[in-house]
């Protein structure tokens, strides 16, 4: 097995790795780059815990090979916070009480971020659709949807954090 070179941008910084190709993108992010916010849940594309923003769109990294990241722009939860402080979406999740055990939250926040990057005035249905690929077994989703809408409001500058 020949090693491959993966050049990509991860959390706004260029990264170059020489790695074995028989790794999923999920494993590359966790093991080679230490980005452990990317969670392994179901390992079959169903739960959304391993979601990252890949070229502007949310994807499940358990369904991707590391080699497919070559040339891509990837954002994980580590790349969302600003100067170590929570960003508007993270703050909204805390304020809305949207977090219980927390395992789904990195993926949930990234799905929300991907929505708000395109649409800062989402309806409740837009928010529900955006997180429809992220399973949460604790909250029942109501407060997560509240958090996404609260983040959108704050992003538009209608209410202050």
- Site of interaction with another protein (CB under 8 A): 1-2, 4, 20-24, 43-46, 48, 51, 54, 57-60, 62-65, 67-68, 70-71, 111, 114, 129-130, 132-135
Tell me how far, at minimum, the Cβ of 20 lies from another protein, in Å.
7
Nearer to another protein, 95 or 141 (CB): 141
Tell me how far, at minimum, the Cβ of 24 lies from another protein, in Å.
6
Nearer to another protein, 5 or 121 (CB): 5
Nearer to another protein, 40 or 95 (CB): 40
Tell me how far, at minimum, the Cβ of 69 lies from another protein, in Å.
10
Strands, sheet with 57-60, edge to edge from the N-terminal-most edge strand:
13-19, 4-10, 73-75, 51-54, 57-60
Nearer to another protein, 15 or 91 (CB): 15
Where does 11-158 have alpha helices with state H?
25-27, 88-95, 105-118, 124-130, 142-156
- CA dist 57 → 34, 53, 84, 143 (Å): 22, 5, 24, 23
Task: Tell me how far apart the alpha carbons of residues 157 and 144 are, in angstroms, rounded to a whole number.
Answer: 20
């Amino acid at each position: 097995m020949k090693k491959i070179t993966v050049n990509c941008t991860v959390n706004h910084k260029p990264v170059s790795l020489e790695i074995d190709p028989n790794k999923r993108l999920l494993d590359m992010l966790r093991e080679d780059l230490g980005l452990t916010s990317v969670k392994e849940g179901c390992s079959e594309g169903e739960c959304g815990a391993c979601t990252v923003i890949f070229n502007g769109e949310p994807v499940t990294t358990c369904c991707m090979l590391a080699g497919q990241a070559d040339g891509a722009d990837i954002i994980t939860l580590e790349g969302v916070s600003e100067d170590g402080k929570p960003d508007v979406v993270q703050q909204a999740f805390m304020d809305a009480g949207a977090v219980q055990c927390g395992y789904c939250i990195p993926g949930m926040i990234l799905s929300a971020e991907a929505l708000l990057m395109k649409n800062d005035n989402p309806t409740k249905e837009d928010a529900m659709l955006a997180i429809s690929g992220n399973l949460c077994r604790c909250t029942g989703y109501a407060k997560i949807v509240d958090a996404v809408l609260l983040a959108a409001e704050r992003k538009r500058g209608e209410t202050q954090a």
